Amino acid sequence: MEPLVALDPTWPKMTLDQVDAALVTPGGKFEIETIPIRGIPTRVWKHAPPSLAWLIAASRAHGDRIFTVYEDERVSYDANFRAVAALAHALVEMGIGKGDRVGLAMRNLPEWPVIFFAAASIGAIVVPLNAWWTAGELAYGITDSGCRMLFVDDERYQRLVAEGAAFPAVETTIVARASVALGADAVRLEDLVGPPNGYASLPERDLPSVAIDTDDDATIFYTSGTTGHPKGALGTHRNLTTNILTSAFGGARAFLRRGEAPPAPAPKTFLTVIPMFHVTACSATMMMSVALGNTLVFMRKWDTVRAMELIEREKVQVTGGVPTIAWQILEHPDRATYDLSSLEAIAYGGAPSAPELVRRIYTEFGALPSNGWGMTETMATVTGHGGEDYLARPTSAGPPAPVADLKIMDEDGATELPTGEVGELWARGPMIVKGYWNKPEATAATFVDGWVRTGDLARLDAEGFLYIVDRAKDMIIRGGENIYSSEVENVLYAHPAVTDCALIGIPHRTLGEEPAAVVHLRPGASASEAELQAWVRARLAIFKTPVAIRFVPDTLPRNANGKILKKDLKVLFEDRLSAVA
């Protein structure tokens, strides 16, 4: 695909190999060493923080710089650490120790990182639970992980109490911002550390002294669970701290490719709209932010107007999360009434983005788009894509970090495919989690000799850039022909009226499956089924053209990780499904 905008004809100034040679040098920030992890020689960032306890203790150096902003609450790094230390000591006094699971189910609040780092700093395993889950789903995660202690906000507490959810292994439930009387086994978080605006007045003290190894267990993040029960991915301290240098390396690479020296790291202000219980926000964003002294601005829930107000008020430099967020800001009719000029970058992961979105972010915001590929099982970032590289290859997810390896495997799981061919993506590196909590069979099937079988269908080009073409289970097979949904979706996104879409397979008696699309149009725009079918037919092979298109008034349903819930869309094609039944 041609670059989306005209690039300097002398770009890139350096090849990827030359960038690696310049940055990965002995004694430098990005120095790499090979060590055994679970018996497998693995390249790691030599100077990554050794543990989450070390990382949060080092954050005291950011002092009065603001760490979190939520409505009228502003918590500095110094105040945040005082709260982390106070809560960590309280947890030890309550009998929580190394290896104990501590559940955390709440919306993005200043208390979230306090709880996360307090538990992790004493060697406990933090279990960030999906705050969107029902009481039954929350009870599953709490029980499956074996939590001894549970932190919730008021909304989650009331949801669990109202539905009578039972999880007898939990000894104490700690509730933030409670608005109701609590049960006998629950205490208020404020009784332990006070409210966020009071953190700065807490006593100054060090963290409890606990021996933590870099490869000790740190987190259990649950997979999105679009089919069946979600699985708990068991992550280590190294998994999370690896992201810090992986992200920094990606930024430095963009400057060298441009022929410029990477600038000294400087703190940025992020509008953080992805839930913290997702690895994109917790691992990719928060780890780097704590290291650099970034400010994280939280929203109670996503609202486009409120987001633009916050970007203007807080001079936000980076936002994003999933592509739909960028689309909604771009398409909002009142966008011009807000000063969004502070935006420097719009970054996202969790879902593929259309090339048209990449172009519009650059041309209309003047901001550099960036994305990357990762998953819960990789604790977020494996590849990074930004700057001119993204503009030049808008359908790619970028090259892997120097500490990661990618390969494309045949469906037999034994044959590596040559460059350019589509197969299952396998990944390995220091970011790959240990396996699934208490699921040895699923672990053995997914994690093989240090590699994780991702379930993504992908290809690699000659320079190592990754292209995700579909989830294996989302690929549509029409009469023996493979149709990759992302290819058709990108063409639909390129239509000026389309702002959200998904391609799904619907049954056909003789062909097996046929492609069908669900489309959301931008405000004030119009397009017919026939018009969009002709648009696709003119750009792709005719068998890839959706046989039916349904229009919906709102953006498509997504889980908290930003993935469209395609299984929920099939009901829109009941007429065709009943004809095949």
* Of 192, 166, 14, 182, the residue nearest 87 (C-alpha): 192
Fold of 52-65+75-189: Rossmann fold (3.40.50)
Cβ atoms < 10 Å from Cβ of 193: 23
Q: Do the two domains 16-48+236-470 and 52-65+75-189 of this chain adopt the same fold?
A: yes
Cβ atoms of 102 and 151 closer than 8 Å: yes
H-run or E-run covering 383:
strand 380-386
CA–CA distance, 16 with 249 (Å, rounded to integer): 12
Long-range contact set of residues 19-26: C-beta below 8 Å, sequence gap at least 24: 19/253, 19/256, 19/257, 20/402, 22/256, 23/249, 23/252, 23/253, 23/256, 23/402, 24/402
The ranges of the chain with pLDDT < 70 are 1-4, 224-228, 349-353, 480, 510, 560-561, 577-581
Residue 19 identity (one-letter amino acid):
V
**For the chain, how far is it from start to end, CA to CA, in angstroms?**
40
> At which residue do the structure tokens 């041309």 appear?
363
Per-residue pLDDT of 487-508, as tens digits, reads 899 899 999 999 999 999 988 8
Distances (CA, A) of 130 to 142, 270, 454, 553: 11, 22, 21, 26
In 281-409, which ranges are continuous DSSP H helix? 287-292, 304-314, 323-331, 355-360, 387-392
How high is the pLDDT of residue 579?
Answer: 57
Nearest CA-CA partner of 187 in 202, 172, 198, 197: 172
**CA gap 346, 365 in Å, rounded:** 9
Please say whether the beta carbons of 339 and 316 come within 8 A.
Answer: no
Distance of alpha carbon 86 from alpha carbon 36, whole angstroms: 35
Q: Reduced to 3 states, what is the DSSP secondary structure of residue 178? A: coil
Is pTM beyond 0.85? Reply is: yes
Q: Which amino acid is at 295?
A: T
Residue 548 burial by Cβ neighbours in a 10 Å radius (0-12, 13-18, 19+):
middle
- The shares of helix, strand and coil residues in the chain, as percent rounded to the nearest 5, are 35, 25, 40
Query: What pLDDT sits at residue 134?
Result: 83
Q: Is CATH 3.40.50.300 correct for 475-580?
A: no
Q: Domain residues of the chain, as ranges?
A: 16-48+236-470, 52-65+75-189, 475-580
Class of 16-48+236-470 in CATH: alpha beta
Burial of residue 261, with CB atoms counted within 10 A of its CB: 0-12 exposed, 13-18 middle, 19 or more buried: exposed
Instruction: Determine the Cα–Cα distance for residues 225 and 182; give it in Å rounded to an integer.
Output: 31
- DSSP H helical ranges for 447-528: 485-493
**Omega of the bond prior to 113 within 30 degrees of 0, cis?**
no
